[in-house]
C-alpha cells in the first residue's frame, strides 16, 4: 500500500514542461531523501533522481527534482515522446511498520 500520493496522470505537448508531485508526511518525505524512477512500458524501473535533487550520471538535466516540507516534485522540461512512462517517487518511512515506501505512480503522456 503506497503512502506517497502522486497524480495518476499528467500530459503536455512535446517541448513543454510537466511536473509530478509526490505527497507524503512528516514520517517519510518530511524526514528523508526522495528518489525518482522512470518505468518505460514493459521494462524495469530506471534510476532518475536521488537525494531529492541529484541526477546520476547519464540522466539529462531535463529531469530535475526538488523537495519542500512533506512533498517532492519531479520536473521534466523539453518533453520528448521517449519520456512517456510511469514515474515513481520513493523514500524511507519512520512509522511503526517502517521500511521504504513508493508513490502511487504517475503516467506521463506526450500529446
Partner 1 sequence: QVQLVESGGDLVKPGGSLRLSCAASGFSFSDYYMIWIRQAPGKGLEWIAYIGSSVDIVDYADSVKGRFTISRDNAKNSLYLQMNGLRAEDTATYYCARSYGVIINWYFDLWGRGTLVTVSS
Q: Confirm or reject binding of residue 63 to partner 1 (CB under 8 A).
A: no
Contact 8, 88 (CB under 8 A): no
Q: Which of residues 32-51 bind partner 1 (CB under 8 A)?
A: 32-33, 35, 37, 43-47, 50-51
Q: Which is nearer to partner 1, 68 or 95 (CB)?
A: 95
Closest approach of partner 1 to the CB of residue 81, in Å: 23
CB 62 within 8 A of CB 55: no
Q: Which residues have C-beta within 8 Å of that of residue 102, sequence separation ≥ 6? A: 2, 4, 88, 89, 90
User: Does 30 contact partner 1 by CB under 8 A?
Assistant: no
Give the nearer residue to partner 1 in terms of CB position, either 13 or 57.
57
77-103 in b/e burial notation, b at 16+ Cβ within 10 A?
eebeeebebbbbbbbbbeeeeeeebbb
Q: C-alpha grid cell for residue 29? A: 518525505
Least distance in angstroms from the C-beta of 102 to partner 1: 4
Question: How far apart are alpha carbons 76 and 64 in whole angstroms?
Answer: 7
Q: Is 60 in the site for partner 1 (CB under 8 A)?
A: no
Give min distance, CB of 100 to partner 1, in A: 5
Could you list the residues that contact partner 1 (CB under 8 A)?
2, 32-33, 35, 37, 43-47, 50-51, 56, 88, 90-92, 97-100, 102-105
Amino acid at each position: 500500500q503506497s503512502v506517497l500520493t502522486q497524480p495518476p496522470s499528467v500530459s503536455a505537448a512535446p517541448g513543454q514542461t510537466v511536473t509530478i508531485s509526490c505527497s507524503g508526511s512528516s514520517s517519510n518525505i518530511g524526514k528523508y531523501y526522495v528518489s525518482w524512477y522512470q518505468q518505460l512500458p514493459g521494462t524495469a524501473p530506471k534510476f532518475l533522481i536521488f537525494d531529492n535533487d541529484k541526477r546520476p550520471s547519464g540522466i539529462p538535466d531535463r529531469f530535475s527534482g526538488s523537495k519542500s516540507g512533506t512533498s517532492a516534485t519531479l520536473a521534466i522540461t523539453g518533453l520528448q515522446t521517449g519520456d512517456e512512462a510511469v514515474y515513481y517517487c520513493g523514500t524511507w518511512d519512520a512509522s511503526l511498520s517502517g521500511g521504504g515506501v513508493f508513490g502511487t505512480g504517475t503516467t506521463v503522456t506526450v500529446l
